[in-house]
A = this chain, B = another copy of it.
């Protein structure tokens, strides 16, 4: 079995047009192929404020598929450790043999999650924008901005986060690495009211965005909720938006923003929901007017994991052969 470490993987895989295209293709596969993607497996360890998730998907036509183990242990900071951990395993779809381990510590998840945000914006946000807002100032907020830069031009960034120090670090880093102007907002409301695209990247369990803050032309990508108890948007936002798009309906109705909307009776399990793969497979943007309000609800799919892991594996093994 081949084993690759985080540093090697980071040298081969970054957020760029290629990785965004890889993730876009994964959504097309999900919409057009009989992808085998079982429900997420989850182990909760409440006494340590932790959870371990397992995701997988087999995309027909590929000789390998990925199985991802990712964990979030939210007391780790007390031990000076990052909360997120994880690795991906590549398994032969022909023989069942485990072929490679990508010891990425969650890096590939960050990349494929940010890439999905870019794909959503590509097909849903207005072409011409000025300001991107991010709620949350952690690693994923950084990756989301970087990915958005590949699909939209913008000069201004508005950020809100609960910890001043982390927000200041975010501003400094992003201004330097992306050459944008970052402004610090005092409230999430400011971010939403003054941005064209808003990305929420929080582990919130209560809405951080209210319906009354929506304005014509706004696109929101909510990527924080990926569990039964999480929620970033007031549920009615999904109903009043002109276009609401899920990464995978079956997942968002259980783990995403749609869950609360169903619980509040605003949607039914039986409602047909547009999935991101419907847009990517038709190569058709969804909005019909610059004034449309659009919302993307992303929970993260095993299909993205398999796609990014295969991309990483192919580059890593090619490099190994050349080297």
Which residues of A pack against B, CB within 8 Å?
1, 3, 36, 38-39, 41-45, 47-48, 50, 52, 54, 56, 58, 60, 65, 67, 69, 71-73, 76, 79, 81, 83-87, 89, 91, 93-98, 101, 103
Count of this chain's copies in the oligomeric assembly = 2
Contact: B69 with A95, CB < 8 Å? no
Contact: B52 with A96, CB < 8 Å? yes
A1 / chain B contacts, CB cutoff of 8 Å? 103
Contact: A73 with B85, CB < 8 Å? no
Bound CA span A242–B94, Å: 44
Apart from A48-B93, A69-B98, A85-B95: 14 A-B pairs, beta carbons within 8 A = A36-B44, A38-B43, A41-B41, A41-B54, A43-B56, A50-B93, A50-B95, A52-B56, A71-B91, A73-B94, A73-B96, A76-B96, A81-B95, A84-B96
A50 / chain B contacts, CB cutoff of 8 Å? 93-96
Contact: A97 with B85, CB < 8 Å? yes
Cross-interface CB contact of A72 among B67, B71, B96, cutoff 8 Å? B96
Bound CA span A73–B97, Å: 9
Nearest B residue to A96, CB-CB: B71
A321 to chain B, nearest CB (A): 23
The 5 A-B residue pairs with the shortest CB-CB distance in the complex, in nearest-first order: A71-B96, A73-B96, A41-B41, A85-B96, A85-B97
Contact: A67 with B65, CB < 8 Å? no
A61 to chain B, nearest CB (A): 10
Cross-interface CB contact of A98 among B47, B65, B81, B87, cutoff 8 Å? B87
Bound CA span A257–B204, Å: 44
A83 / chain B contacts, CB cutoff of 8 Å? 96
Contact: A52 with B95, CB < 8 Å? no
A60 / chain B contacts, CB cutoff of 8 Å? 47
Cross-interface CB contact of A58 among B45, B54, B67, cutoff 8 Å? B45
Known A-B contacts A43-B38, A67-B54, A103-B1; A48 and B94 likewise in contact (beta carbons under 8 Å): yes
A143 to chain B, nearest CB (A): 20
